[in-house]
Copies of this chain bind each other. A is one copy, B any other.
């Protein structure tokens, strides 16, 4: 039996954060050669080192995340603002910029950004975080339309309410407060397994999915159904 991603090379960034390792696992289980990078990719030299290690990738999973701080508008910290954009927005743009020329040379490519549904509806007390995630989503939309002409499909998985150790660790999910306060806000009434996100990434990265580009896909159990 042939695995779906045999012979394909995938780079997943910031694997220790957010959805990194679970998506890397997903591709690996389907036969891909996966480069797992754990640098924050803030510096140019780290990005160049990675580019050396990850030559000829077919698929880039651009996974950049930072913990949100629940701060009112008047309490947003300069460091918070700086960290959110330095760790989420600029590395996304620079990493895509770095790997696009090789994809163009190859005549094809797949890029999946792991973003958030939070800016699609807006969450009070998380306006700085929503702003940085909104910058990611807007980049995907514009760059995705541009790269479509080069046969590179670039989309975003704008997720919310998916299990991951950082945002929704098991002890939180099992707490009474969570069941009483959070679950009722999710139309599906449940937190998704992280593996489901990996499955979506596998679908998007396939050769049979070329008609979706520049798309910010709400992936949130129905919390957000329109893009914004």
Q: Does A173 contact B (CB under 8 A)?
A: no
Chain A, 109-167, CB within 8 A of any chain B CB? 118-139, 141-149, 161-162
| Contact yes or no, B222 A210, CB < 8 A | no
Q: How large is the interface on A (under 10, 10 to 19, 20 to 34, 35 or more residues)?
A: 35 or more
Stretch from A6-14, A56-64, A174-182, A191-199 that touches the partner: A191-199
Q: Does A188 contact B (CB under 8 A)?
A: yes
| Contact yes or no, A138 B141, CB < 8 A | no
Q: Does A85 contact B (CB under 8 A)?
A: yes
Question: Considering only CB atoms, which chain B residue lies closest to A188 in the complex?
Answer: B148
Instruction: Using known A-B contacts A81-B90, A196-B208, A210-B188, determine if residue A126 contacts B142 with beta carbons closer than 8 Å.
Output: yes
Instruction: Using known A-B contacts A76-B93, A97-B73, A209-B196, determine if residue A142 contacts B120 with beta carbons closer than 8 Å.
Output: no
Q: Does A218 contact B (CB under 8 A)?
A: yes
Instruction: Using known A-B contacts A122-B141, A131-B135, determine if residue A213 contacts B188 with beta carbons closer than 8 Å.
Output: yes
